[in-house]
Structure 1
Amino acid sequence: LDTVSYAIMIEEISRVVCGIGLTLQIHNSACAQPIAQFGTEEQKKRFLPRLAKGELIGAFALTEPGAGSDAQALRTTATPDGDEYILNGSKIFITSGPVAGVALVFATTPSTGDAKKKPISAFLVEKGTPGFSAGPKEDKMGMRAAINSELIFDNCRIPKANLLGKEGDGFRIAMTILDSARIGASAQAVGLARAAFEEALKYSQQRQQFSRPIAQFQAIQFMLAEMATQIEAASLLTYRAAYLKDKGARFTKEVAMAKLYSSRMCTEVVSKALQIHGGYGYMKDYPIERYYRDAKVLEIYEGTSEVQRMVIAGQLLKS
């Protein structure tokens, strides 16, 4: 499946339930794709067929209590011991954490050079591995269709065959994954915004005030026009990044732009949609209040809006 088609799929699923879109994009972009891109032939044969069939759900475990935007500040460790690594530490906010059959986990490994630098490596950890457990399901404001939890590693022994890529390649792998995952996150934002816009457009044509549909008032028309334009702009940014990835071109700057704009756009569009609904938009009888709760986190995960601005600026100055 090419990336543009994948983005369309995530957008359409997120248009219905954004939390399911999140679960699928993490499963694909942040677990299955890295195995396909960086894994050994044995790892590919072992995991990819089951991930493709849905027999396994994949998770991506990078974020820690003290390492969010600063992804190099990891405290989870992987200590070599013969033919194994011993993992100790914890991860937080992990999508599909309690139900994942395999998690892509990032941990620091012993330095072979500068003692101040902590090389990061990537590991595949299977559910049921002794010392590996998931915390309780997080009680989130939104995206409640996606399950999130803490992952805990307590002297968790995994074979060295579960190292993804080479030792010390973890940070590069993580950044590559995040570039791809941001396409999915941007598509989620577009899908969620489209759903909110469609509800607002329909409601504005049905809701009567002052003896006419509120869609006939210029104030509402201007809001709808702005919303539609924002959605199309975000869609084009997202599909451009997906197109560049399919062509094998660099797309780090473009996908950061798409993620920055589409997530902010989604928050604004959903807020306007709720405003058009008035008091009804605040009630659980209408889907708008769910869209409103789901939207905010799009500005946080897969790199906050502030991180996207840093990435864009860095790429501009580099060029």
Structure 2
Amino acid sequence: MQRRILLTGAALGLTAPAIFGRVHAQPRNSSWPRALNMGTAAPGGTYALYGPAWGQLVQEATGVNISYRTTQGPNQNIVLVQRREVEVGMVTMGVALQAWNGQGDWTQGNQFREIRALFPMYDTPFHGISLKRSGITQMSQLAGKNIGVGPRGGTPGTYFPLIMNTLGYRPAAIRFGSGSDMSGQLQDGLLDAFLFASGVPIPAFSEAETQGEVNFLDYTQEEVQKLTQAFPELSASTLPASTYRTAGRELRVVGMFNFAIGHRSLPEDLVYEMVKAVLGQQPRLQQAIAAASETTAANASKNSFLPYHPGAARYLREVGQNIPDNLVLA
């Protein structure tokens, strides 16, 4: 399976409001909340663009106002939804699995059981870059090197330390920060490599290859097998050679699917209309952000553990998806 290249409406000079137009001023149903808050992620990541794109569709369909909160990514989104500081958010399924089971250092042993799956979003590949002058061309050369992995609370910040440990490549230092900060540190020679996971092409990687020669870091077949065995939530695939201007070859990667989540207390009929607004108008969403090429009901099968909100399950079943009863929880 090849991953699709994810371009954004913003890259075309478009914004979500420009694409979707005006929205209702009042909720269609008086029992619904007037407004919802959505946890997204730091600027420069796909969530920061994808979130307002699907939020605008929901706002238009329901009349419920959606506001956006910049976060560190999936980990923080889960915490905020759990606490009802935001009602909806976006996560990668590996982080969601850690949250549900209370595993991973960031959970401090707490199980986050107030979150519910809403709909599938898109796949996220893990890969990296180094400056060509460094001579680093493969992951194994990162042992003893300084690497950057994005925000501490994001999926790459959570998983890349585990990935490197699993592969047995111990970096000298792992640094955390925004994608733009990591890219700047790479250019300044403070980092030997920048490893990230996001919708592709990753903007910071594309920018780096315009500033100088870079190497793209992917995985050997043996490394892929080791990682997918250690982390069942990861899947193997390839990025087309055309993903980046100077890659010059397919990249062998691992990745995990992203899902929208909501608090379990959201009204069932509201969630039904929210999921219908997104999946039922997928071509419009894809106009805003091409990551939505994978935002289809069929990809509901990418979730095998996180309970669906009953409103989401109702819509998915209506359009032909097999959602088992044990995967639906009020």
TM range (shorter): under 0.3
Q: Using CA pairs under 8 Å that are at least 6 residues apart, name the structure with larger relative contact order, 1 or 2.
A: 2
Q: TM-score, normalised by structure 2?
A: 0.26
- The structure that is helix-richer by fraction is 1
Q: TM-score, normalised by structure 1?
A: 0.27
